[in-house]
Amino acid sequence: MSGKSEESLRAEIEVGRVAGEKALASATDLETLKSAKQSHLGEKSAIAKMSQSLGSLDASLKAPIGKVLGEARNHLNELFDRRLAELTLQRDREVIESERVDVTLPLRRNPQGGIHPLTLIDQEIADIFIGLGYRVMEGPELESAWLNFDALNIPADHPARTMQDTFFIEPIESNLVLRTHTSPTQIRTMLTQDPPIYVICPGRTFRSDELDATHTPVFSQVEGLVVDEGISMADLKGTLDYFAKQIFGEDVVARLRPSYFPFTEPSAEVDIFFNGRWIEWGGCGMVNPRVLETCGIDTAKYSGFAFGMGLERTLMVRHQVTDIRAIVEGDLRFTRRFGMGGR
Ligand code: PHE
């Protein structure tokens, strides 16, 4: 550096200052800002080198050149600090933006599953009768025609056989049907257990009806069967009154209306007085002694009663459902009321 004129030294410093200014100002991220500082203010930068060899200058130049160098260094340092603050702020903003979560966005709610209303009422009925000391019996949906009909006093040529439109299973000689009621489960119970018998038989049943507002080829029943000593129609009526109150409310009573079923004698329809009118709920009667005898039960000692209700019908009456398809087709607008399918 020695031997150079003051002007050329000043010009050299100016070049270093301008280059540094440009590099610092044009840095667009913290990384390039740091390397710009390294090249224009670091140990190997032109300005640092000139500062290091200041001692070799003519005595008259040391003070003015030293001052100009100091100013250039300070200027570049200030510029670096300002740019550092700006770029740090910018980096922070970018991080915050990229990590932003919009808490107001609507959630994708996954609908919650639930228990179907038919299953709920099935469980409710089981609870009622278990509370009375009954047991729950289940039987197969594919049933022998003998258990579904003959044992229940419905012989092949009996007109009652056509009361229930039956799905027969091929080949016809198999003598299998889709059970038209859950009564064959009562036969199964009486064939395998000795009295006293207190059971309910819930389950799916089948009849070859077209699906419309009041019919469905697949539906559900619950039947009750009691066989014990001294069982009378009064026990049946008391049991049905209690059952009706549990399902429909304390002020509801049952009414028996004379009817006919081959497997009960006498037989009756069960009506309930609900929402200001009598509504048919199911069938009932004293178990026909012929049915008890078929099952090997001593009719001199034992008598019994039986009743049967449709579960869909029970739900429809209780919840004012006018179309049975709402229950069997799984329409969420219906099942939601029973806690299924989320919102
Ligand atoms: N099994 C009859 C039906 O499905 C209902 C019933 C059961 C009637 C028990 C009387 C006694 O139609």
Query: If you take atom 9 of ligand 1, which residue's CA is the nearest one?
Result: 307
Q: What is the pLDDT of residues 100-136, one digit of tens each?
A: 888 888 887 777 777 888 999 999 999 999 999 999 9
The pTM score is 0.69
**pLDDT score recorded for residue 63:** 87
**Percent with pLDDT over 70 in the chain:** 96
The answer, yes or no, to whether residue 175 has pLDDT greater than 50, is: yes
Q: Which residues line ligand 1 (CB under 6 A)?
A: 181, 183, 223, 261, 264, 283-285, 306-308
Selection from 248, 306, 307 nearest residue 124 by Cα: 248
Burial degree of 101 (CB within 10 A; 0-12, 13-18, 19+)? exposed
Could you tell me the CATH superfamily of domain 117-338?
Bira Bifunctional Protein; Domain 2 (3.30.930.10)
For 36, counting Cβ atoms within 10 Å of its Cβ (0-12 exposed, 13-18 middle, 19+ buried), the class is: buried
Given this model, what pLDDT does residue 343 score? 45
Instruction: Note the residue count of the chain.
Output: 343
The better pLDDT of the pair 228, 275 is held by 228
Residue for token pair 């600090």: 81
Q: Kindly give the distance from the C-alpha atom of residue 96 to the centroid of ligand 1, in angstroms, as a whole number.
A: 71
Distance 326 CA to ligand 1 centre (A): 24
Q: What average pLDDT does this structure show over 152-163?
A: 77
pLDDT at 55: 84
Q: Whose CA is nearest to atom 8 of ligand 1?
A: 283
User: How many angstroms does the Cα of residue 315 sit away from the middle of ligand 1?
Assistant: 18
Three-state helix/strand/coil letters over 206-234: ECCCCCCCCCCCEEEEEEEEEEEECCCHH
Which residues, including other chains, have CB under 8 Å from residue 322's CB and lie 6 or more apart?
Answer: 213, 316
pLDDT mean over 306-315 = 95
For a ligand 1 pocket test, name from 263, 288, 291 the mutation site with the most ligand atoms within 8 angstroms of its C-beta. 263
Query: Domains of the chain: which residue ranges?
Result: 6-98, 117-338
